[in-house]
Amino acid sequence: MKFKLVYSSLIVFALLLISMGVRSKDHPCLLLTKNGVQDIRKGIEGKSLFNKTLTKTKLEMDAVLAQPVVVPMPKDAGGGYTHERHKKNYEEMQQMGILYQLYQDDKYAAFVKNMLMEYAKMYPALPLHPVQMSNYRGKLFWQGLNECVWLVHVSQAYDCIYDYLSPKDREYLEKNLFYPMVKFFSEDNKATFNKIHNHGTWAVAAVGMIGYVMNDNDLVEKSLYGLSKDGKGGFMRQLDELFSPDGYFTEGPYYQRYSMQPFIVYAQAIQNNDPQRKIFEHRDHILEKAVGTLLQMADSNGAFFLLNDALYKTWRNTELVYGTDIIYNITKDKTLLSIAADQNRVILTEAGLAVANDLLKGEAKPFQQKTILIRDGADGSQGGLGVLRMEDGDNQTCVLMKATSQGMGHGHFDKLTISLYDNGNEILKDYGAARYVNIEAKNGGHYLPENDAWAKQTIAHNTLTVNETSHYDGKLKVAEKYAPTITGFVDKENYKEVSATEENAYEGVKMERNLIMVKPEGAKNPLIVDVFKVKSMTEHQYDLSYYFAGQLMSTDYEYDAFTTSREPLGTKEGYQYLWKEALGKSKKSSASMTFLNDSRFYTITTSTNPETSLFLNRIGANDPSFNLRNEPSFMLRDRSKDRTFLTIIEPHGNFNADAEKTSSSASYIKDIRFTDVDKTQIEIQKINGDIIKVDTRNKTCVIKKQQ
């Protein structure tokens, strides 16, 4: 009877729990699962990449265990001691948590517990961070953003040691640390939490993940649908709006990489806890597309295209290790294994184990970098990024046109700008961001003033600046209303093209750019044909820039070099940062300049009028703190109503410094011209008499050999 009574009570209690919506929960439940951990413990093979990563992690963390736990009072900005210490702390806790699950050794759990207790002691009384450089200040960090990143990691650590902790400890931590932090991220910073922006993604992922661990479904719902759970904010709307149907994240590849981590990590947690949500299938598998598209936005070394505010990052970065492993475990796309092999590490979860085991079985297939048009905008109508490629690996030539929407606050005023990668190097450059991330001496590691004043401005890009004014007058709100239109995309074997127009960047000025990559029969390297048409009813000053990486070898026109005194190119909108180094004019109908980058020569040959001014500029004027890189540009200037710039970019020859051998150091182009009034037929006359004919109507490139 007694037994029966207890039994009934239990049933009643369970029913009560269910009626309260509180299911009991196994831990871990976020990236690792209780079942998964069993599998991993069994499935670790000696030589696998999983085991290699695990061994390395264990070695590092065992060394950390010998050190005291330090949770300093927040004080420094990015790069400073307390900032870096709190970053290290969340990484260490996350890794200790995993080690505890895999090795079942209490020392790892104790580390996490002790550190969490320190944080819980400190957090309730913590004011806003003393460094006031962000509109979104945190408490542990100068940016609230870093604090969300902290919780995305620490929720995993807490998840891993959940069962190790006593209910009392858990209550203490949740009351003093996690709930106050959740409140800070959500109610106290409502705007960011509900924002359709990467800051919002980190915030909702942090709240949703700790929600899962604490078994608080209310937090999960808020993270998915916004603070009011009305779907106007939250993770689902971010998935719907921040990516284009092709998986392009509107801020560009640098921030796509950054936000990939909370997207993918939180999606994995949702999948493990609420598989019925089919989160990876959402919106026609948008997360798989996002990872795939991001991998396409990299050069042959795996470095992401520098677009908008961007610094050097590769697909070997941690965020992409998450992305590659977790998506591989969903799709089993064997080409992702090649990326994983290049990353040379895996995440220490079931997904990482699957990658490592399949790599060990030799299942990897080559990852193919493609010629691809990546549409921007939630519905794909906000322009896009055209990427043209020929050849593979280091021999790849890749040219791209950015004709995307503005990309929010990190966007640049750079409509129709182009970049060229070749021979494993960046040849025509996009400046990227003006920032030394986490270096205190440089504005506390934050974006430098020159990021707005220089790097975002139109003149800092390989595109057209009209009347020394940036696109949309440099106004973000205006720029966000418009996007270029992609007018053509061709991917034939020896003829590739992307074309776009932009009619709103300047009032009464229509810009159109056709970027074509051809490989004439018998040619060693592809040629880039760049046709930039600008039309207006009134006269304007047109400046077309090419930022080239390398040392100038020669020009075929004469110039005056400013050798004994130097002045800036202008006074505003980025022009004040350029020194004029030389100014010339061509006596022919074209002008060319040749530069050397690494082991290859490049010649830019461009059509000119007698009045066309040919500038050689260099970044670095008005830079008293030496914040900028002193890179050179070749710039064409004309005053007219209509102007069509025809430019050929020609990689050629070889320079072997070691062997002191040089071949084809001079351009093979003698002249270039259009042969029809519509300017659709281009003739490139070679020095040897051959003529290369590029037909942009029929999309062909043929070579007429000299008789």
> Where do contacts with a second copy occur on this chain (CB under 8 A)?
78-79, 84, 87, 311-314, 316-318, 436-442, 445, 551-554, 561, 563-568, 579, 581-582, 594, 596, 616, 618, 621-626, 629-630, 655, 657-663, 665-666
Pick the closer one to a second copy by CB: 385 or 621: 621
Q: Is residue 322 flagged as an active site residue? A: no
Question: Measured on CA atoms in the order 162, 165, 166, 172, is the torsion positive or negative?
Answer: negative
Report d(CA 90, CA 450) in Å as an integer: 32
- Number of Cβ within a 10 Å radius of residue 534: 23
Give first-to-last CA distance, the chain, whole Å: 109
- Number of Cβ within a 10 Å radius of residue 502: 23
Secondary structure letter of residue 338 according to DSSP: H
Tokens of 390: 């020929």
Pick the closer one to a second copy by CB: 664 or 681: 664
Tokens of 535: 């039309």
What is the smallest separation between the CB atom of 704 and a second copy, expressed in angstroms?
A: 24
- Number of Cβ within a 10 Å radius of residue 554: 13
Which of the following is catalytic: 410, 412, 446, 540? Answer: 410
What is the smallest separation between the CB atom of 87 and a second copy, expressed in angstroms?
A: 7
Pick the closer one to a second copy by CB: 233 or 253: 253
| 3-class state of residue 517 by DSSP | strand
Decide if 383 contacts 406 (C-beta within 8 A): no
What is the smallest separation between the CB atom of 625 and a second copy, expressed in angstroms?
A: 8
Nearest 5 degrees, angle CA 361-CA 272-CA 151? 105
Pick the closer one to a second copy by CB: 493 or 658: 658
Report d(CA 405, CA 291) in Å as an integer: 20
Residue 231 region by backbone torsions, left for phi larger than 0, else alpha for psi between -120 and 50, else beta: left
Pick the closer one to a second copy by CB: 55 or 630: 630
User: Where do runs of H (alpha helix) occur along 71-227?
Assistant: 81-103, 106-122, 144-161, 167-173, 179-185, 190-193, 198-213, 217-225
Cα–Cα nearest to 628, from 455, 429, 452 = 455
Cα–Cα nearest to 265, from 191, 341, 338, 212 = 212
What is the smallest separation between the CB atom of 594 and a second copy, expressed in angstroms?
A: 7
Pick the closer one to a second copy by CB: 170 or 580: 580
What is the smallest separation between the CB atom of 455 and a second copy, expressed in angstroms?
A: 15
What is the smallest separation between the CB atom of 527 and a second copy, expressed in angstroms?
A: 20
What is the smallest separation between the CB atom of 97 and a second copy, expressed in angstroms?
A: 19
Secondary structure letter of residue 677 according to DSSP: T
Beta bridge partners of 638: 542
| 3-class state of residue 424 by DSSP | coil
What lies within 8 Å, CB to CB, of 335 at 6+ separation is: 364, 365, 366, 367, 368
What is the smallest separation between the CB atom of 551 and a second copy, expressed in angstroms?
A: 7
Pick the closer one to a second copy by CB: 405 or 594: 594
Pick the closer one to a second copy by CB: 660 or 678: 660
Question: Measured on CA atoms in the order 182, 79, 253, 547, is the torsion positive or negative?
Answer: positive
What is the smallest separation between the CB atom of 561 and a second copy, expressed in angstroms?
A: 4
Which of the following is catalytic: 90, 100, 162, 255? Answer: 255
Decide if 413 contacts 471 (C-beta within 8 A): yes
Q: Is residue 410 flagged as an active site residue? A: yes
Report d(CA 51, CA 31) in Å as an integer: 18
Pick the closer one to a second copy by CB: 474 or 550: 550
Pick the closer one to a second copy by CB: 44 or 439: 439
Secondary structure letter of residue 458 according to DSSP: G
- Number of Cβ within a 10 Å radius of residue 379: 9
Cα–Cα nearest to 648, from 517, 498, 493 = 517
Report d(CA 33, CA 212) in Å as an integer: 12
What is the smallest separation between the CB atom of 188 and a second copy, expressed in angstroms?
A: 26
Catalytic residue list = 255, 410
